[in-house]
Structure 1
C-alpha cells in the first residue's frame, strides 16, 4: 500500500510504502508525476518503506511502464528503509537511472528529509 504524504516542496512526491505495491498504488502516483513534469520540473521522491514486501505482479509491471515513460523526468530519490535488500535495491536504482538516489536507515529519517528538501 502507498500512502501519499502532503509536502510543501512542489516537485516532491512523499509516500509511506508498506506491504505489497499493487497496480492501483502505482496509478495513484502516476498523475502526480504528470503534474510535476508539466510544470517543467524534475520529480523528486521521498519513500519511507515500513514492512515493505515488494510488488505484486501487476504492480511490478505498472511500475516498469511508468518508469519507462518518465525515467528522464526523475530527480533525487530518498529511500528510507529497514532491510539490507532495500539498500541494494536503492543502489541498483542509482546505477540504472540518471537520478541521485540515496538510501537511509529508518534511524536516519530526519537526515533523509533534510537531504531531499535541500536543507
Structure 2
C-alpha cells in the first residue's frame, strides 16, 4: 500500500509504504513522479517504510525500470524504515543514482525530513 504527498516546494515527493509495493501502487506513484520530473531538474524523494514486506514481482520490475531510467534525476533520497531494510536498500540504490542517498530509522523521521528539505 502506498500514500503519496507533494510538498509546496514542488520538487519534494513523500511516499509512505507498507506491506508490499505492487503494480497498482506504482500506477499511483509514477504519474506523480513523472510530472514532478518534467517540472523540476532535480527531485528530492522521502521514502518511508513501515511494516514493509518488499515488492511484488511486477512492482520490483517497475521499480527497477523507473530507477534505471531516472537515475540522474534525483538529488536526494531519504529512505526511512526498519533496520532490516537499511543496508540492503541503500546499497542497492547507490549504484543507480547520483543522488545523495541516506537511510534513517523510523525514530529519525524528523531528522530525515529536515535533511531532505535542506
Q: Structure 1 length normalisation: TM-score?
A: 0.89
SS at match of 1:71: coil
SS at match of 1:108: helix
Tell whether the 8 Å contact from 2:6 to 2:12 is kept in structure 1 after alignment: no
Tell whether the 8 Å contact from 1:18 to 1:53 is kept in structure 2 after alignment: yes
Q: Measure, in 1, the Cα distance between the counterparts of 2:3 and 2:63.
A: 16
Q: CA deviation at 1:54?
A: 0.4
Give the corresponding residue for 2:11: 11
Q: CA deviation at 1:50?
A: 0.2
The equivalences for 1:78-93 within 5 A come to 78-93=78-93
| Deviation by residue 1:58-107 (Cα, 9 ceiling, x = unmatched) | 11111122122211212200011112333331133124321110000111
Give the corresponding residue for 1:46: 46
Q: Structure 2: which 5+ runs fail to align?
A: none
Q: Name the Cα RMSD after superposition.
A: 1.5
Q: Kindly tell me: are residues 92 and 83 of structure 1, through their superposed partners in 2, closer, same or farther at Cα, counting changes over 3 Å?
A: same
Q: Measure, in 2, the Cα distance between the counterparts of 1:108 and 1:4.
A: 20
Instruction: Tell whether 2:116 aligns with 1:116.
Output: yes
Q: Kindly tell me: are residues 85 and 34 of structure 1, through their superposed partners in 2, closer, same or farther at Cα, counting changes over 3 Å?
A: closer
Q: Structure 2 length normalisation: TM-score?
A: 0.90
Instruction: Tell whether 2:103 aligns with 1:103.
Output: yes
